[in-house]
Amino acid sequence: MTPLYYAISAILLGWHKVFGAVFGPESGAAWVLSIIGLTLVIRAALIPLFVKQIKSSRNMQLIQPKVRALQEKYGHDRELLAQETMKLYKDAGTNPFASCLPLLLQMPIFLALFRLIDRAAQEPEITRGLMTKTLNHQFADATLFGAKISDTFMTTELLGVRLMAVFLVLAMTATTFLTQRQLMSKNMPADALSGPYAQQQKMMLYILPLVFAVSGVFFPIGVLFYWTTSNLWTMGQQFYVIRNNPAPGTPAEEAKIDRERKRLAKKGKEHPADVERAEQQAAADAAAEERRQTRVQPQKKPRSQRKKK
């Protein structure tokens, strides 16, 4: 963890130098804003992975009908089913574990920040990374709205600290739930809302917030600020991606087309999707009319032949 201690403390102290000049180096506001600044730097660095995660999730959604077809075809042979499924993932350029990459990479950072803050409060004489004894004491004694940002819900008897901890735990839990629900309700096609992948997403929808709610009471308030800020970043980033680049056949795509249709209507233009749909319908109607006209009509027999019969 030593390299992470140095990296995190370097970013944290860089922001602390900026905010400390405004609010004072010992103020809780300077330390909390420094943690938020650290969060933004980390999340900005993870943007390429987030883009990869979105693409992977989208591909996973789109190939779910093919996955179900493989399950029906090879359900009797698990080994062959696994081989064919992995081949499908490879052909689609996706990986079922890619959606977890940003979270997995954040966990060591989260743990390093937790230990950095916790040890600064519990053992300020022991330094980690670039945190000196003076900085440890400043952080351990820093307060925000009367609450020490190094305290946790479980380690304090102060009502103000507990109220702030509860508020941040609820905010962290709510943002986790809303982020996952946003993805499922707006950026998943109807046929992807069933099957093993959909069940996995539904489980995560409820399990992850529950995990954060239970474990959050043990996190220092400073760490809760980090995770809540990270969740807000994720929710905003995901909203932007879903709004501007939705997966095909999803409610988000329909909403985007409606927005574009209204914007083009103000200029007296039609949406390309409507034009293409009209052309396809016209072609289908023309083909139907051509078949109707070229259909062979039964010939009426002469009266003499009808009498013989």
Q: pLDDT, tens digit, for every residue of 69-104?
A: 877 777 777 788 788 878 887 777 676 666 666 667
Residues in the chain: 309
The helix (run of H) or strand (run of E) holding residue 122 is helix 101-122
Task: State residue 10's pLDDT score.
Answer: 92
Task: State residue 198's pLDDT score.
Answer: 60
Considering only residues 167 and 253, tell me which one the structure prediction assigns the higher pLDDT.
Answer: 167
Q: 147 near 27, Cβ under 8 Å?
A: no
Task: State residue 194's pLDDT score.
Answer: 59
**77 exposed, middle or buried (CB, 10 Å; 0-12, 13-18, 19+)?**
exposed
pLDDT band at 17 (very low <50, low <70, confident <90, very high): very high
Task: State residue 197's pLDDT score.
Answer: 59
Whole-structure pTM value: 0.70
Considering only residues 295 and 308, tell me which one the structure prediction assigns the higher pLDDT.
Answer: 295
Helix axes 78-92, 64-74, angle to 10 degrees: 160
Q: 8-12, 140-144, 252-256, 269-273: which has the minimum mean pLDDT? A: 269-273
The two three-digit tokens of residue 245, written as one number: 């680049």
Question: What are the beta bridge partners of residue 148?
Answer: 143
Q: Which of 151-155, 180-184, 233-237 has maximum average pLDDT?
A: 233-237
Determine what percent of the chain is predicted with pLDDT higher than 90.
Answer: 6
Distance of alpha carbon 202 from alpha carbon 196, whole angstroms: 10
Cβ burial 173-191 (10 Å sphere, 16+ → b, else e): bbbbbbbbebbbebbbbee
Q: For the chain, what is the mean pLDDT?
A: 78
